[in-house]
Amino acid sequence: MATESRADSFWYDVYGRGSFHFTVMKRSDGEYRVYIDTQPSYPSGRSTSGHSTHRYGLGSSRPHICYEPPPRTLKDARTVAESWARHTARYMGTGRW
């Protein structure tokens, strides 16, 4: 099993849609994993399943972004987090990813 070390932690604001907080962990296998620490709540009627919301680990205390292939640089991990936040905000508002 890969071990992890903290690489970054940051807030990302989607104008008018809310704030997201992420922690990026570098894994011993060279991949980065982006954990979702804080995000706005999904509105009533929107699916919150892992498939619909592109999240893994929903049964744990550390959900993270589902992205393939996993990022291999910190810059790419931040890009994945920011893109996921924008898509999630759109999904919350429109129901479309």
Q: Cβ contacts of residue 9 below 8 Å, gap of 6+?
A: 21, 22, 23, 24, 37
Residue 1 reports pLDDT greater than 80: no
pLDDT per residue as tens digits for the range 16-44: 889 999 999 999 999 999 999 999 999 99
Instruction: Report the distance separating Cα 65 and Cα 44, nearest Å.
Output: 22
The token duo for 77 is: 């991990």
What pLDDT does 2 receive? 83
* Residues 24, 74 contacting (CB under 8 angstroms): yes
* Residues 65, 34 contacting (CB under 8 angstroms): yes
Residue ranges per structural domain of the chain:
4-94
CA angle 33, 16, 76 (to 5 degrees): 25
